[in-house]
């Protein structure tokens, strides 16, 4: 997941700046070979009062009290810089012992990471939800340990639906188009929010590909970006959705996800694809909404998009045993629930997922949890994905503009993807 922040929210800049100096010793010899492990983690809070640092500091102290002799030093950075900082430290020969960030494949490809089997106890490994664990594999060996996850649903503004006389949320593209047309006729500013701008174009793109029966790759991991299904999907979007003014007056190619989320919380958007964080934002603004599975070309989409953020253990400092003990603690049911519950994210382990689904305190998350076992994830195991994602951000929006050529654009991205993939072999 190449990104700014995918599941999390950007942390306050002041908090990040205060933590930055703690990173300078990562991977150094200052500890003299002791049993201190260093973790760099992403911040899922949007202000100092809900910063993830509080969680990690508390967890580290509890772990230390139960594992005498092992120390855990934690640095928490915003999503805008944490991936870049870890990459810089690894390149400088100062890798942390653990990193909880957005992507793992580049590090795994050059032999920097321990495998899951080398770190985790068998029960901890077995607890991972299989579809998410598989997304952490490179050549069938798991190096990326999922930390938190999310799925996507279609959000519908209930007040605007009532105003437009729409009785039920759409299940198909035809129903989606009809609902958007009614919303437009009722004066809704943005009947459907289509963020194909650079912030999160790869996510919106994948959701539409899945709803049209395609995806970024096939079932053996080969890129299929310009498949007939994907081309047909973007032709439909161009002609039947954007072309008919059902996405508002703005250009989807220049529309970012957070802009659409913000507009939804102002009551200006009828429908959009969203993740659990949008619930918090909408609830805070008093927006009444319903959530349903993504509509498909002729019925419910065969799958929704899943997103995972990753934990990984670096070999450089030789703390395999200490890292493994800490991770077994991190992935206990109670600790997984503690973190995911704070930020309305989904657990990546079966015991925690079952417990959350049964807890009425988290009943709003049940529709997202239900979609998780069959969710499809970015091809994060590919070292080529970073460049492919960048290309999608730059080009995909043009497919839905007037005169856009989905076949040509998707074909160009496909050729670039295959060239990058082959160059890395």
pLDDT digits (tens, 9 = 90+) for 193-245: 999 998 889 999 999 999 999 999 998 899 999 999 999 999 999 999 999 99
Shared-domain flag, residues 87 and 143:
yes
Q: How many domains does the chain have?
A: 2
What are the structure tokens assigned to 192, written together?
């459907």
pLDDT at position 313: 98
Shared-domain flag, residues 295 and 198:
yes
pLDDT at 171 over 80: yes
Residues linked to residue 41 through DSSP beta bridges, in sequence order: 76, 100
Shared-domain flag, residues 257 and 394:
yes
Shared-domain flag, residues 200 and 91:
no
pLDDT at 306 over 60: yes
Interatomic CA distance for residues 309 and 16, integer angstroms: 19
Domain for residue 6, yes or no? no
Domain boundaries, position 137: 13-150+307-373
CATH number of 145's domain:
3.40.190.10
Give me the chain's average pLDDT, please: 90
Domain for residue 276, yes or no? yes
Shared-domain flag, residues 22 and 142:
yes
> Average pLDDT of 404-425?
93
pLDDT above 90 coverage of the chain, percent:
78
pLDDT digits (tens, 9 = 90+) for 87-144: 999 999 999 999 999 889 999 999 999 999 999 999 999 999 998 999 999 889 999 9
- Place 33 in a pLDDT band, splitting at 50, 70 and 90: low
Shared-domain flag, residues 212 and 96:
no
Shared-domain flag, residues 164 and 265:
yes
Domain for residue 2, yes or no? no
pLDDT digits (tens, 9 = 90+) for 347-390: 999 999 999 999 999 999 999 999 988 899 999 889 899 889 99
pLDDT at position 8: 39
Shared-domain flag, residues 299 and 338:
no
> Average pLDDT of 46-56?
89
Structure-token match 């973790």, residue found: 39
Shared-domain flag, residues 22 and 67:
yes
Given 350, 373, 396, the domain boundary residue is: 373
């Amino acid at each position: 997941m190449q990104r700014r922040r995918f599941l999390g929210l950007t942390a306050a800049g002041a908090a990040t700046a205060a933590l930055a100096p703690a990173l300078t010793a990562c991977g150094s010899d200052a500890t003299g070979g002791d049993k201190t492990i260093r973790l760099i983690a992403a911040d899922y809070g949007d202000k100092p009062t809900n910063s993830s640092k509080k969680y990690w500091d508390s967890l580290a102290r509890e772990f230390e009290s139960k594992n005498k002799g092992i120390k855990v030093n934690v640095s928490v950075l915003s999503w805008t810089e944490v991936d870049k900082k870890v990459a810089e430290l690894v390149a400088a020969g100062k890798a942390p012992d653990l990193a909880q960030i957005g992507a793992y494949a580049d590090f795994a490809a050059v032999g920097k990471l321990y495998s899951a089997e080398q770190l985790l106890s068998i029960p901890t490994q077995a607890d991972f939800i299989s579809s998410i664990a598989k997304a952490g594999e490179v050549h069938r060996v798991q190096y990326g340990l999922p930390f938190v996850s999310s799925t996507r649903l279609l959000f519908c503004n209930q007040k605007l639906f009532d105003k437009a006389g729409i009785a039920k949320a759409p299940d198909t593209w035809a129903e989606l188009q009809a609902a958007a047309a009614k919303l437009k006729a009722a004066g809704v500013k943005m009947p459907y929010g289509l963020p194909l701008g650079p912030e999160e174009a790869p996510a919106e793109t994948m959701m539409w590909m899945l709803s049209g029966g395609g995806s970024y790759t096939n079932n053996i991991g080969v890129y299929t970006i310009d498949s007939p299904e994907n081309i047909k999907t973007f032709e439909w979007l161009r002609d039947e959705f954007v072309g008919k003014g059902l996405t508002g007056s703005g250009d989807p190619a220049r529309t970012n996800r957070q802009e659409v989320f913000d507009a939804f919380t102002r009551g200006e958007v009828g429908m959009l694809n969203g993740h659990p964080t949008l619930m918090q934002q909408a609830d805070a603004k008093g927006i009444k909404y319903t959530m349903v599975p993504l509509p498909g070309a002729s019925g419910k989409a065969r799958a929704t998009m899943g997103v995972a953020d990753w934990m990984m253990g670096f070999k450089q400092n030789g703390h395999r045993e200490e890292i493994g003990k800490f991770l077994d603690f991190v992935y206990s049911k109670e600790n997984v629930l503690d973190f995911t519950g704070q930020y309305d994210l989904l657990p990546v382990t079966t015991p925690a997922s079952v417990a959350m689904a049964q807890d009425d305190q988290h009943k709003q998350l049940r529709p997202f949890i239900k979609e998780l076992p069959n969710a499809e994830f970015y091809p994060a195991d590919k070292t080529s994905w970073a460049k492919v994602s960048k290309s999608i951000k730059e080009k995909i929006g043009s497919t839905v503009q007037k005169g856009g050529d989905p076949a040509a654009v998707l074909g160009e991205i496909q050729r670039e993807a295959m060239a990058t993939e082959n160059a890395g072999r």
